[in-house]
Each structure stands twice: as C-alpha cells, then as structure tokens.
C-alpha cells in the first residue's frame, strides 16, 4: 500500500520519514517549491532531532508540489496541513477543505481510497468531510498525533497510544484499520508497542482536545499548589510537595512541576477549542475556561514574585525564550511573556538563546527596551552577578 502525505511541515516530514523507515513507499507534498526542491536534494533546515539523518538515509521517499499526484497514485492519503486557531478558539480548517477540493477535481477513479485527517480539527468536521467524499467512494478517518515540538521523531516512536476515529461499520475488521495498526507498530519497532484506540470520528476529535485539556489542567494545578506554598512561606519545599503528590499512582508525576504555565502551538489552542466546544453543547461549568484564566494569572504571579525575590536588583538572565528549551518556537511562550513583562516594568534582562530564536525578537526588543536588554551568545560570556530564571 502506497502512502501519501499532504503537508510537509514539522510533523508531516517527520511522519513521512518514519513511514519510509518502516519500509513503505511514501510521497509527500507541500506548496513551498524551494522547500520541496531542498528535500529532493536531501537538505532541510530544522531543529527537530534525527530529521536530517533520516532524510539522508531515505530511499523510498518522493517529494512533489502536486496534491493531485498523491491523490491519484497513493492508496491511503494523510493530510497534515495547518489548521490555525480562530479568535473564538475554533480551528480554521480551510486548508483541509482545499485538499478535499483537490480530490473532487481529479478525474481518476478514487473509489476505495482512504483519506486520513491528521490535522487537529473541530468536533464534527470529519463527518462533514465524509459527507463530501462519500460521493467519490472515499472513507475518511481521523488520526491525530500526540507529539511535542522538538521531540517529534522520539514521540512518534514512543507513543503509548494511537487514536483512530472512523464511522464505517465493522471498520476494525477492515484492511485499512489493520494496515494502520501494522504501520504504527512498525514505526515503533524496537522502541515501544503502542495501544490502538478506536472510536467514531467525532468522539476521536473530542478525545484529542480532551487529552491536551487535561494536561493544561494538571500544569495549572501544579502551579496553583506552588503559589499556595509560596504564600505560606514554604517556597523551598515546592518540589518536595509536588514530588509527593505525583508519587501517588492515580495522579502521576508527568506534567506536575512548578514553573511556567503551559504554552506553545498545541496545548493553549487545544484547551481553548475544547472550552469553546463545551460551551456550544451547553456545558456551564467549563474547566477549559478556568484553566486558561489560571494560566494567565500565574504569569502575573510569577512576575511579582520574581521582582520581589530579586532584592539585589540584578539583571534577570533567561537561558531560553522559546516555549520549550531546544526548539525555535515562541508561540505563546510563557518565558517570552515574562521577559517582556519584566522589561516593561523597567527591569534589566540578559537573553541567551539560539540565533533562530533571537532573530525573531532581537530588533524590536533593542528598539523598544534599548540598553535594558542584552543578547549574549553563551553563558560563559556572563561575568557579572545575575538572577537566573531557573524554571
């Protein structure tokens, strides 16, 4: 079975490389001509570990700018195109609809092909996609990935759960389901055997949001508990208390740390999307909204606490400003928010980060904050006393 992937972004290229490594012929498309040309020459600029190595060793990976080529030549077609958030928290799935229009515009016989939506979408969207593609004899599945930027390859290889949504009767006995099951087990061969969770597409769309909403709740709870300990004069015991709470097996230690609130391109928007959908179906006690408020208030709490704790008025030192250390993404970075808030309060700040991060902010920061902000290339250059942001 030949695999096609539409959308060669961070996740798309990683998924394609792992499918190829698992032994499948893979074709992947993207609208960026120069990007595709570089990929054809086995070149890519990325901070994602292992991507360049896998690209260099790949033999059965084809790149194209034509979605029609993929649609006509591949048996199972994944789409991992961008679905940015709207102001109300919903996802803009217009890029997925463009892919569906490509299906409609081909003159080839598409009956029996499978369209797998890997992009995060709103509950009910896949049913709408299916309503259109059923006329062409195409089955629609929902198969989102649970990964973090900066560790995509590792997360795909070590996923403890794969979520598949499909509404076709007896789908679990179909060749497509068995193929997906085998595909993920091959991707994780030698790493970890995953659990396949199957449900209707709409239930899967809700489950995807619910997973990340639970993580935002856990992060917010840990930060709230840390604030309580600080207010009780017990700041030195935050880690001990959280470790104790996380040792209780029904709770677990993952994501139970004190520090910055949640940020990045996934958790905040999934949490808001879940909150927005919950409101639409009439849920009044909306945990997603409350969690978002806690995350916002915690940023303010950290600002006041750090200014007060820095009694010597030393420059604040940030060793990274991306939402997660090791990546170049500053989307909803709580570290970046704190840095801006400190500078807006007249504090002095020193920033150490990779050039692909600092290049996004250096010019406007220097223009606005002048000598109050300094960008340095490494920690060894810092010769003065500083207040290190340690979270």
Give this prediction's pTM.
0.91
DSSP tag of 172: G
How crowded is residue 283: how many other Cβ atoms within 10 Å of its Cβ? 14
As a whole number of angstroms, the distance between CA 31 and CA 215 comes to 33
Per-residue pLDDT at 231 exceeds 90: yes
pLDDT at 189: 75
pLDDT at 46: 93
CA 62 and chain centroid, separation: 25
Q: Which residue has the higher pLDDT, 50 or 174?
A: 50
pLDDT at 326: 87
Output the six-digit token pair for 131: 């309503």
DSSP tag of 248: S
Q: What is the pLDDT of residues 149-180, one digit of tens each?
A: 999 999 999 998 999 999 876 677 788 988 99
pLDDT at 180: 93
Output the six-digit token pair for 76: 């199972």
- Average pLDDT of the residues in 56-64: 97
As a whole number of angstroms, the distance between CA 102 and CA 97 comes to 9
Q: Which of 135, 131, 162 is nearest to 15 (CA)?
A: 162
pLDDT at 376: 94
Per-residue pLDDT at 252 exceeds 90: yes
Per-residue pLDDT at 190 exceeds 70: no
Q: What is the pLDDT of residues 338-370, one digit of tens each?
A: 999 999 999 999 999 999 999 999 999 999 999
C-beta of residue 277 within 8 angstroms of C-beta of residue 208: no
Model confidence at 191, pLDDT cuts 50, 70, 90, reads: low
How crowded is residue 57: how many other Cβ atoms within 10 Å of its Cβ? 11
Per-residue pLDDT at 127 exceeds 70: yes
pLDDT at 243: 97
Mean pLDDT across the chain: 95
What does the longest C-alpha to C-alpha distance in the chain come to?
A: 73
As a whole number of angstroms, the distance between CA 272 and CA 282 comes to 15
pLDDT at 336: 98
Output the six-digit token pair for 319: 């060793």
Q: What is the pLDDT of residues 255-283, one digit of tens each?
A: 999 999 999 999 999 999 999 999 999 98
pLDDT at 49: 95
pLDDT at 391: 86
Handedness of CA 101, 103, 108, 110 (dihedral sign): negative
How crowded is residue 109: how many other Cβ atoms within 10 Å of its Cβ? 10
Model confidence at 83, pLDDT cuts 50, 70, 90, reads: very high
Output the six-digit token pair for 274: 């879940």
Q: What is the pLDDT of residues 4-41, one digit of tens each?
A: 999 999 999 999 999 999 999 999 999 999 999 999 99
DSSP assignment of 105-134: H--S--TT-EEEE-S---TTHHHHHHHHHG
Q: Which residues contact 285 (CB under 8 A, 6 or more apart)?
A: none
As a whole number of angstroms, the distance between CA 267 and CA 264 comes to 7
Per-residue pLDDT at 112 exceeds 70: yes
């Amino acid at each position: 079975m030949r695999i096609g992937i539409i959308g060669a972004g961070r996740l798309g290229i990683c998924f394609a490389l792992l499918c190829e490594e698992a032994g499948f012929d893979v074709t992947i498309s993207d609208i960026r001509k120069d990007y595709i040309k570089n990929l054809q020459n086995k070149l890519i600029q990325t901070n994602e570990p292992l991507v360049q190595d896998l690209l260099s060793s790949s033999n059965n990976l084809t790149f194209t700018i034509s979605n029609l080529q993929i649609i006509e030549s591949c048996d199972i077609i994944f789409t991992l195109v961008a679905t940015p958030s709207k102001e109300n928290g919903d996802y803009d799935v217009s890029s997925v609809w463009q892919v569906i229009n490509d299906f409609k515009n081909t003159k080839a016989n598409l009956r029996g092909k499978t369209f797998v939506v890997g992009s995060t979408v709103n509950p009910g969207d896949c049913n709408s996609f299916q309503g259109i593609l059923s006329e062409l004899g195409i089955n629609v599945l929902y198969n989102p990935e649970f990964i973090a930027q900066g560790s995509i390859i590792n997360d795909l290889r070590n996923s403890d759960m794969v979520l598949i949504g499909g509404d076709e009767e007896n789908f679990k006995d179909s060749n497509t389901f068995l193929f997906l099951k085998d595909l993920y087990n091959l991707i994780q061969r030698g790493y970890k055997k995953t659990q396949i969770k199957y449900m209707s597409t709409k239930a899967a769309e809700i489950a995807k949001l619910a997973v990340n909403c639970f993580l935002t709740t856990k992060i917010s709870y840990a930060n709230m508990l840390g604030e309580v300990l600080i207010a009780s004069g017990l700041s030195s015991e935050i880690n001990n208390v959280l470790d104790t709470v996380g040792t209780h097996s029904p709770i677990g230690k993952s994501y139970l740390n004190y520090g910055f609130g949640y940020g990045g391109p996934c958790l905040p928007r999934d949490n808001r999307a879940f909150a927005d959908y919950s409101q639409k179906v009439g849920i009044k006690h909306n945990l997603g909204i409350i969690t978002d408020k806690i995350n916002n208030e915690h940023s303010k709490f950290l600002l006041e606490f750090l200014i007060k704790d820095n009694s010597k008025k030393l420059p604040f030192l940030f060793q990274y400003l991306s939402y997660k250390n090791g990546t170049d993404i500053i989307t909803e970075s709580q570290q970046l928010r704190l840095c801006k808030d400190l500078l807006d309060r007249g504090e002095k700040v020193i920033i150490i980060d990779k050039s692909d991060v600092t290049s996004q902010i250096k010019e406007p920061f220097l223009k606005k904050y002048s000598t109050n902000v300094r960008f340095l290339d490494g920690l060894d250059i810092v010769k003065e006393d500083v207040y290190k942001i340690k979270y």
